[in-house]
């Protein structure tokens, strides 16, 4: 089993493309949304942060969205990572989970 997840069922759900549970490694964020087969037919569908594993009930680690933004701003001067001009200056490690694993977060 991958040590990034609390149980084997969560790991299997994360791998399943039609599962409504999503994991975003770059931000260590979990969310519940519609299954992919519904999303293909709808352009907008609300997602909700997931705080507990729906399989075993374990509290999931908090997401790192704020830390990601803060580090990009303080260390690299990037205050709007969605801006096309600034986006190209985001270091490669910040496009994956490497940045937070390297920092022990």
For the chain, 105 residues long, give each residue's pLDDT as a single digit of tens.
556 789 999 999 888 877 888 899 999 999 987 766 666 666 666 678 999 998 999 999 999 999 999 999 999 999 999 999 999 999 999 999 999 999 999
The pLDDT score that the predictor gives to residue 72 is: 96
Domain total in the chain? 2
The pLDDT score that the predictor gives to residue 102 is: 95
Q: Are residues 53 and 84 in the same domain?
A: no
| Partners of 32 in the β-ladder | 21, 48
Q: Are residues 1 and 33 in the same domain?
A: yes
Q: Are residues 74 and 57 in the same domain?
A: no
69-85: pLDDT as tens digits: 999 999 999 999 999 99
Q: Are residues 48 and 88 in the same domain?
A: no
Angle (CA) 66-67-69 rounded to 5° is: 65
Q: Which domain holds residue 31?
A: 1-63
């Amino acid at each position: 089993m991958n040590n990034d997840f609390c149980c084997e069922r969560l790991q299997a759900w994360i791998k399943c493309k039609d599962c409504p549970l999503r994991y975003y490694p770059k931000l260590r964020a979990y969310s519940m949304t519609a299954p992919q087969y519904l999303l293909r037919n709808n352009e907008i569908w609300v997602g909700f942060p997931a705080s507990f594993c729906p399989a075993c009930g374990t509290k999931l680690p908090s997401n790192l969205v704020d830390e990601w933004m803060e580090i990009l701003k303080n260390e690299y001067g990037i205050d709007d990572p969605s801006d096309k001009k600034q986006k190209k200056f985001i270091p490669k490690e910040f496009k994956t989970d490497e940045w937070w694993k390297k920092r022990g977060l």
